[in-house]
Amino acid sequence: MDRLRSSIPGTRLAGTSIKGRSALPWRLSVEVRVPSQAVNAVGELLAKAEREGRAQLLEHEVYALLAGAGIDVPRHAVVCGPEDVSEALCAELRSDDVVVKVVSPDILHKSDLEAVAFCENTSVAVRAAVERVLALARRARPEARVLGALVAERVRFQSGLGRELLLGFRHDPAFGPVVVVAVGGLDAEYLLGALRPEQARALLAAPGLTREAVRARLRGTLVHTALTGGLRSQRGRGAGEERLVDLVLALAQLAERHAGFTPASGLGLSELEVNPFVAALDGRLVALDGLARLQRPGALAPARRIENLRHLLVPRSAAVVGASAEGMNVGRVILRNLLEGGGVPRQRLWAVHPRAAAIDGCPAVATLADLPEPVDMAVVAVSADKGGAELVSELVEQRRARSVTLISGGLGETVAGREAERRLRLLIEQAHLAADGGVLVNGGNCLGIISVPGRYNTFFIPSSKLPFHDAPGQNVAAVSQSGAYLVTQISNLDRAVRPRYAISFGNQVDVTVSDYLEYLAGDAAVRVFAVYLEGFRRGDGERFLAAARRLVAEGRTVLLYKAGRTAEGSVAAASHTAAAVGDYEVCRDLVRSAGVIDCQTLNMFEDYLVTFSFLNGRSATGRRVAVLSNAGFECTAAADRLYGLEIAELSPATLERLRELLPQGVVDAHNPVDATPTTPTERYALMAEALLADPGVDALVVAGVPATPYLENLPQDHALAGDEFRASSLPARLVRLFHQTRKPVVVSVDAGPLYDACVQLMMRAGLPCFRKIDRATRALAAFVGRTPR
């Protein structure tokens, strides 16, 4: 047989020429280890498939790609028909049995058509199997292009739960190359659905992946437990953790090269999947099947000059387009809110109006061209159907502003709006390539921005409807794709949290959520980043992970509520902000691996926001928690749902102190502490103090049903709706105790509106307070789990 040149250096390839037709060469991959030039060879392999009009690689081509990365594949050959099978071919496969599969770009799942056969490794048996497999495939799929058959060694491996792996990578439109490690085999789909996600699979961002990160993510998954001998049925027969880590890292390198946003020559892979990888009896981790699809990813938008966001967040001049001179409208509200903030002097705040000379004392100009100088920030409050996009285009082209907030809706939500947004995006992106970096545009379809450092507010909501008060939580940046959600968050947390920045970014026609994270990282006063997100722009998820990792490494907190998790939710998000909502599970796993706290509910999102803001600077040396309540059901509920906390073992001194303070002969002293409804205020507070003083207690939950005559938890003049509390009241005592300790403390007040003032007193003092004990323990557990030990 003639020796043919391999497309992957280091492989051995042989083929035959069959008279009257071209033969498909067969290839042996024996102990393949490929040098760096394999990257170019992979590109040639992909280009060949594209030239042949194929959207995917054939299985033996996937083997070549894997072998080039140093990953074990079966010894194999590809034959056009039974006449190509020889004794020499069978001898080089070096196995007692072989597997025969059809080779066709149109038949991806061969076992479904029974186009797979096992037989003895003799030329007679293999010829018969090849003939049978090809006949079955042609009969089942007469329209398919049947190119031949793959003949491969039958790899012997130990079967069992978790011993077959689904391994590969995919190109995610937000995050780029993502490695997937999951339970595999014929029952993979069932197992993926039946097991908890964290057990069934692990998703890892390929760029910058380290051995430590791979180990941490794989531990706890079924495949890791099974392959490292952790199951009773597999003990002593594991493949070893490091071998699995090596495999994942090899796939990650392949993914970075070929499944990113800029593959060589523009041609890459949208996905590669091997199902299954198995631990062979000879110690190898071998790929037994393979599928890969081609893609040509489009270019990413040019980078924006993030430092220029200072013009948007701390402007010294501004213009409002769309303010009415006669009555109240969105633009007029924005103009008044800007004036009230005082960050932009009145004489440098212009209204753009075709007829007015001034509006609310601010100078007015007829057109953007009439502005006496380029402004730091322009706010466009003109709808898309009335020329909003055209006004932004003029601001960008003529550089009449350094930054723009586009309030207007209508872009991206309709057919005409999507086309207008596409044109606007192109114009903005072209401007970013200029020497001055162009103009940064926030929005459209956004509510606006509130910036405490910039002393301004461009929300189109009157201050009478959304007042802002001083609050203990001033270390927060609230960055939200939904303006409406941002309003509810600010209102719900009034007098508790006043964000340093409240940014509504809408459709992300230009500036993205990751831009804001990168820029605001430079403000040391921001310790908590609360992000409400419906979708990333293409490629922006990768940047989000990088920014989040840096923030978390600095000891700061990134909270994320990701909307659009289901098919229905994704449709709703797209109709609202035209967000390209990605796969939620990919997003969830990757952001968690970056240290982001993924909030599953809106209540959780706001609970964590309060907790991390108020407890910033505190730390817990462990997860040992003490719980104090006057109600048995709360003690039980807290112990039942600890969310990773542990019930602290109290010291003898603490137990003795509790016995002195508890009602005699009614309850025993133990943790959780049931103080009963008859414990008076002073003793209740002293119990909390004793628990905090215990060196074995890392954190404290103080709860209690307040409707008992023994606790002073109402204002002095509550009948007259007053809100003054005596210093001897329970909330006042708890506030003092909170400020005397550095341990994390949270409170629960499970009662109705009568006790709102009690809750507000503690919240306004920076003490986290919740209306259910399980919300309190959950928030505390999240905080304790993130603090350094």
Rounded CA gap, 512 and 544, in Å? 9
CATH number of the domain enclosing 646: 3.40.50.261
pLDDT tens by residue, 129-144: 999 999 999 999 999 9
| 469 burial level (CB within 10 Å; 0-12, 13-18, 19+) | exposed
Task: Look up residue 83 and give its DSSP letter.
Answer: G
**372 and 247 in a common domain:** no
Residue 209 included in any domain:
yes
Whole-Å CA distances, 513 to 174, 261, 389, 516, 520: 12, 19, 21, 5, 11
- pLDDT at res. 233: 64
Output the furthest CA–CA distance in the chain (Å, rounded). 104
**128 and 211 in a common domain:** no
**318 and 284 in a common domain:** no
Residue 413 included in any domain:
yes
- pLDDT at res. 7: 31
Which of the pair, 631 or 576, is modelled with greater confidence?
Answer: 631
Among 161-170, 594-603, 653-662, the range scoring the smallest mean pLDDT is: 161-170
pLDDT tens by residue, 641-666: 999 999 999 999 999 999 999 998 77
Using CA atoms of 649, 652, 656, 658 in order, give the dihedral in degrees to the nearest 10.
-20
Residue 205 included in any domain:
yes
Residue 216 included in any domain:
yes
**601 and 633 in a common domain:** no
What ranges in 100-162 are assigned the alpha helix state H?
123-140
Residues spanned by the domain of 52: 2-153
Q: Read off the pLDDT of each residue in 683-690 and give the average, rounded to a whole number.
A: 98
Inform me whether the pLDDT recorded for 90 exceeds 50. yes
Inform me whether the pLDDT recorded for 302 exceeds 70. yes
Which of the pair, 667 or 561, is modelled with greater confidence?
Answer: 561
Query: Residue 150: helix, strand or coil by DSSP?
Result: strand
pLDDT tens by residue, 531-547: 999 999 999 999 999 99
Rounded CA gap, 546 and 564, in Å? 22
Among 212-216, 272-276, 407-411, the range scoring the smallest mean pLDDT is: 407-411
Whole-Å CA distances, 201 to 92, 286, 328, 561, 600: 36, 19, 55, 22, 19
Confidence of residue 222 (pLDDT cuts 50, 70, 90): confident
Residue 641 included in any domain:
yes
Query: Residue 507: helix, strand or coil by DSSP?
Result: coil
**189 and 145 in a common domain:** no
**178 and 141 in a common domain:** no
How many distinct structural domains can be found in the chain?
Answer: 5
Q: Which two tokens stand for residue 642?
A: 């600890």
Residue 632: count other Cβ atoms within 10 Å of its Cβ: 13
- Ranges of beta strands (E only) in 173-264 are 176-183, 201-205
Inform me whether the pLDDT recorded for 508 exceeds 50. yes
Inform me whether the pLDDT recorded for 232 exceeds 90. no
- pLDDT at res. 377: 98
Sign of the torsion angle spanned by Cα atoms 601, 602, 606, 609: positive
Residue 158 included in any domain:
no
Confidence of residue 324 (pLDDT cuts 50, 70, 90): very high
Domain end call among 104, 124, 153: 153
* End-to-end CA, the chain: 66
Query: Which of 50, 43, 74 minimizes the C-alpha distance to 60?
Result: 74
- pLDDT at res. 238: 59
204, 219 in Cβ contact below 8 A? no
Whole-Å CA distances, 89 to 85, 402, 616: 6, 70, 68
- pLDDT at res. 718: 62
Query: Which of 40, 32, 30 minimizes the C-alpha distance to 69?
Result: 32
Q: What whole-number percentage of the chain has pLDDT above 70?
A: 90
Confidence of residue 224 (pLDDT cuts 50, 70, 90): confident
**168 and 110 in a common domain:** no
**699 and 724 in a common domain:** yes
Confidence of residue 34 (pLDDT cuts 50, 70, 90): very low
Query: Which of 401, 428, 404, 418 minimizes the C-alpha distance to 304?
Result: 428
162, 223 in Cβ contact below 8 A? yes
**692 and 548 in a common domain:** no
Domain end call among 592, 614, 636: 614
**133 and 213 in a common domain:** no
Residue 453 included in any domain:
no
pLDDT tens by residue, 337-351: 999 999 999 999 999
Q: Which residues pair with 451 in a beta bridge?
A: 456, 501
Residue 300 included in any domain:
no
**Do β-strands 268-279 and 291-295 pair in parallel, antiparallel, or remain unpaired?**
antiparallel
Residue linked to tokens 């799929």: 141
Residue linked to tokens 């600095």: 554
- pLDDT at res. 92: 93
Average pLDDT, the chain: 89
Lay out the sheet containing 476-480: strands in order across.
456-457, 449-451, 501-504, 476-480, 528-533, 557-562, 597-598
Q: Could you give phi then psi for residue 605, rounded to 5 degrees? A: -60, -50
172, 583 in Cβ contact below 8 A? yes
Whole-Å CA distances, 150 to 60, 73, 95, 201, 388: 7, 13, 15, 30, 60
Domain end call among 129, 153, 177: 153
CATH number of the domain enclosing 235: 3.30.470.20
Confidence of residue 12 (pLDDT cuts 50, 70, 90): very low
**610 and 628 in a common domain:** no
**254 and 169 in a common domain:** yes
Among 12-26, 219-233, 298-312, 405-419, the range scoring the smallest mean pLDDT is: 12-26
DSSP 509-570: SSS-HHHHHHHHTT-TT--EEEEEES-PPTTHHHHHHHHHHHHHHTT-EEEEEE---SHHHH
